[in-house]
Amino acid sequence: MPRRIAPENFGGSFAQIVSVGSDFWGVVTARGELWICGDGTHGCFGCWDRKDRAAPTLVRGAWGGSQVLMLSCGRWHTVAVTVAGMVWTWGEGFKLGHGDLEDQVFPIQIAPGAFGDSHMVLASAEAGMTMAVTRENILHVWGTGHTDGSIPTATCSTGTSASRGCPCRWRRACARGRASGGTAA
């Protein structure tokens, strides 16, 4: 049976965006704040530790002076996009987009140059990968991809695999609603 979670649980602000991960969930409020609750494994809350939280907790990221626009909770990591178009990730390391495999227990901005001069508008976290979309509808992908080939692992123009943690531009052609292949640029 659905249960109402009152705005008082989010500092008095109403929920606008919600995402559910693996044993944790998050909310972006009307004030552009991010609140997370549940299992804190790998630091997926962004609260500087790995503790579980039974009640929603405000994630105090700098956010580059901007407000949070949206979030997506993955298996053990989280991605947020700010109103300013910046992407921030934290949690289990290999899918964060920072070029390393380290877990991060607080939000870290992905280097702006990783997306060129693009303004990011959407992002999605999944078990083994993260994706983000620019205002110009260009898709970027990083993480391990799927071993069944449904989402091939991209290779960056530098020759570095997206599974090494760098965001890579992904292009694909669609035919009759199905992916017919793609190349990373």
Ordered structural domains, the chain, with CATH: 11-184 (2.130.10.30)
pLDDT at 183: 38
Mean pLDDT for 47-75 is 86
Q: Model's pTM, two decimal places?
A: 0.80
pLDDT higher at 10 or 113 = 10
pLDDT at 134 over 50: yes
pLDDT at 179 over 50: no
pLDDT at 169: 60
pLDDT at 147: 53
Q: Round to whole Å and give the CA distance between 133 and 40.
A: 27
Mean pLDDT for 88-116 is 87
pLDDT higher at 34 or 45 = 34
Q: Round to whole Å and give the CA distance between 129 and 142.
A: 6
pLDDT at 156: 47
pLDDT at 162: 45
Q: Round to whole Å and give the CA distance between 137 and 109.
A: 20
Pairing assessment for the beta strands 53-58 and 34-38 based on DSSP bridges: antiparallel
> Scanning the structure block, which residue is given the tokens 């609750």?
37
Q: Round to whole Å and give the CA distance between 91 and 103.
A: 5
Cβ atoms of 89 and 115 closer than 8 Å: no
pLDDT higher at 30 or 45 = 30
Q: Round to whole Å and give the CA distance between 137 and 89.
A: 20
Q: Round to whole Å and give the CA distance between 157 and 52.
A: 39
